[in-house]
Amino acid sequence: MVVLYTDGACSGNPGPGGWAYLIKDASGAELARASGGDPATTNNKMELTAVIEGLMTLDERAAVRVVTDSQYVSKGMTEWVKGWIRNDWMRGSGRNKEPVKNVDLWRKLVTECARLEVTFAHIRGHAGHPENEECDRMAVAATQAVRFSE
């Protein structure tokens, strides 16, 4: 079992953004970390990208607990995604149906989760959780890096 901590950040929404992840094993030893950015994105895209990038580094069949402060990601994967798939990636009902936002990223996330044993846990952001705070620092730094590289 490994734990994947993730976070996304955005300066403006949309605007320049960053993502970050930190992977630890069951004993708490750090296995990997990475971050990156996008000069024109949204916070939700960065939250999804952080999880996708982290999962992509793991071997098939790994048991992973994703810890995120994003309700968009955690509820999306635990409550909403089955309905979206069943409705051909549409949300709402009747005349109010509309395409799921960020469907390309949701599809990638579903694909990554299918090859692993993934569970999702939501934590409150900016509440002193050490790994979440570190991911936040990394994501903000990635945001600043793309923001000032233009």
Q: How many residues does the chain have?
A: 150
How far is it, in rounded angstroms, from Cα 12 to Cα 61? 37
- Residue 139: which residues within 8 A CB-CB, separation 6 or more? 7, 8, 9, 17, 18, 19, 20, 35, 46, 50
How far is it, in rounded angstroms, from Cα 94 to Cα 25? 46
Q: What pLDDT score does 6 carry?
A: 98
30 has which bridge partners?
A: 24
What is the number of alpha carbons within 13 Å of residue 145 lying toward its C-beta? 14
Question: Residue ranges per domain, the chain?
Answer: 2-147
Q: How many other C-beta atoms are found inside a 10 Å radius of the C-beta of residue 72?
A: 16
From first to last of its 150 residues, the chain has per-residue pLDDT tens of 999 999 999 999 899 999 999 999 999 999 999 999 999 999 999 999 999 999 999 988 889 999 999 999 999 999 999 999 999 999 988 888 999 999 999 999 999 999 999 999 999 888 889 999 999 999 999 999 998 776
Q: Which two tokens stand for residue 81?
A: 């995604």
Q: Where are the beta strands (DSSP E) in the chain?
A: 2-10, 15-25, 30-41, 63-68, 90-91, 98-99, 117-122
Q: What pLDDT score does 126 carry?
A: 81
What is the number of alpha carbons within 13 Å of residue 9 lying toward its C-beta? 25
Please identify every residue annotated as catalytic.
7-8, 47, 69, 126, 136
Q: What pLDDT score does 88 carry?
A: 94
CATH topology for the 2-147 domain: Nucleotidyltransferase; domain 5 (3.30.420)
